[in-house]
Amino acid sequence: MILPQYDGRCGWYEVLNDVSVFPALEGNVNVDTVVVGGGFVGCAAARRLAENQPDGSFLLIEALKVGQGASGRNSGFVIDQPHKRDLESNDNELKRKLLSLNCTAIDYLETQIDRYSIDCQWSHAGKYQAAVGARGQKFLDHYEQLLKGFGEQYQKLSRQELQSIFGTDFYSAAIFTPGGTLMQPAALMRGLADNMPENVRIAEHTAVTRITRTGDGFVLETDQACIKCRQVVLGTNIFTAELGFMRDRILPVMTFASMTKPLTDDQLERYGGQLDWGITPADHAGTTLRMTQDRRIIVRNSYRYAHDYNTPGELLPGVRQRHQQAFDARYPQLKDVKFEYTWGGASSLSGNFETYFGEIEPGIFLSCCDQSVGAARGTISGMMLADMACGKKTQLLADMIEVSGAPSKLPPKPLLRVGVPLRMAAARFASRSEV
Ligand SMILES: Cc1cc2nc3c(=O)[nH]c(=O)nc-3n(C[C@H](O)[C@H](O)[C@H](O)COP(=O)(O)OP(=O)(O)OC[C@H]3O[C@@H](n4cnc5c(N)ncnc54)[C@H](O)[C@@H]3O)c2cc1C
């Protein structure tokens, strides 16, 4: 069985101060519901369960520390818009439902950030989708048509306008959408964990190794504990298959990010742009770029088929070199700025771009295959799994069920290990001018 591992390299997590401790679980424990996985799905599910049933008892179990999984390793965009594949659908009603679900997730996160004063650089900075050359421009034109067709608000920006924001003339054009937010993902996840309702107990460094159905519920095993419960919520992302669910349906894809130290005053002057923005690439195989509120620049690009789930350390020097090339091409005036951290993280995709949400077996609730936009999608999934587990019937839950689907069966792993890297290499080659 492959379990999550943390390699101490994720910049967002490593720069945190005074990380709280939730002791590992030991002995025999009885609770109403166990939530496995402390990412966006698990944290939202645990909170919502506790809100729905203030007298219930809930346990959130995380194999690592909350914030060390994908939810603390991402690029920090909480995106309101439907994913590109969904945006391409002709069904405007479906897109409106997705937008409304994502916005509900953003509001839910923001309510907690405000209530508990979570210091995570949360900002209504919107999102820039940017093109470098002719190939990117084609994608951008297509994106503009999709936004127009959906009646969404957006703004087009020229190279000159972008230069004053980003401090580089590297981008030829961009489309700005105002709806999404930016954040420091590991800080957000720690804040969510630190402020759980009282009837949620958190256990970190506790990996569930087996789930067994008993007469009236389930027994979950970890190496030091045995937990009895009535219901289970799985927010285990790519590791879900290791617990026996959604085998052959989850495509684990890893992408990589690097982060600089905060720019010095002198470097900031040479940079010449603004703080607190985020660019996603018009061509999805391109580069994501962030400038944080605390003056750090983050570069994300490169993909690999993560058959082994965790990040092989030997890949990181090569990745960092690629990130440095992307950085130097954008910021020749900052040749002295090098990356302090480089890390990988894996998301669950599906072969047919469908996301799973629901009660997979009586008493076991899960969502997965969020297509790597899990900050909003994972949050709303966790909230709605909790409502489903509590028997709450709402329009939001009905919408959630409607926008979800059945991830298709994938080819056998040996074929994926050959086919997926080949497809990725072809995409990398086709998109080389946009990286
Ligand atoms: C580099 C990168 C950039 C990204 N950028 C963005 C972005 O900007 N915006 C966006 O929306 N999405 C982004 N994503 C995707 C996003 O991070 C994921 O979609 C999201 O975090 C998934 O949330 P989750 O709760 O489903 O899973 P996770 O965050 O992976 O949480 C699952 C948790 O379960 C734990 N776990 C697994 N198995 C067990 C077990 N047996 N016992 C106990 N615990 C277990 C894991 O340790 C993990 O912490 C990015 C991803 C990466 C890697």
Work out the end-to-end distance of the chain between its first and last CA atoms, rounded to an integer number of angstroms: 36
Name the residue of 347, 356, 365, 369 to mutate for ligand 1: max ligand atoms within 8 A of Cβ: 347
Tens-digit pLDDT profile for the chain (435 aa)?
A: 999 999 999 999 999 999 999 999 999 999 999 999 999 999 999 999 999 999 999 999 999 999 999 999 999 999 999 988 899 999 999 999 999 999 999 999 999 999 999 999 999 999 999 999 999 999 999 999 999 999 999 999 999 999 999 999 999 999 999 999 999 999 999 999 999 999 999 999 999 999 999 988 999 999 999 999 999 999 999 999 999 999 999 999 999 999 999 999 999 999 999 999 999 999 989 999 999 999 999 999 999 999 889 888 999 999 999 999 999 999 999 999 999 999 999 999 999 999 999 999 999 999 999 988 999 999 999 999 999 999 999 999 999 999 999 999 999 999 999 999 999 999 989 989 889
Measured in Å, residue 138 CA sits from the centre of ligand 1 at: 31
The answer to pTM > 0.85 is yes
Q: What is the DSSP string of 249-288?
A: T-EEEEEEEEEEPPPPHHHHHHH-S-SSEEEEESSTTS-E
Phi, psi of 365 (to 5 degrees): -115, 135
Name the residue of 40, 120, 227, 236 to mutate for ligand 1: max ligand atoms within 8 A of Cβ: 236
Reduced to 3 states (helix: H, G, I; strand: E, B; else coil), residue 27 is strand
Structural domains of the chain ordered from first start: 11-73+187-247+352-408 (3.50.50.60)
Nearest CA to ligand 1 atom 22: 374
**Geometric angle at alpha carbon 131, from 263 and 259, rounded to 5°:** 25
Q: Is there a contact between 183 and 110 (Cβ–Cβ < 8 Å)?
A: no
Nearest atom, ligand 1, residue 254 CA: 53
Phi, psi of 402 (to 5 degrees): -65, -35
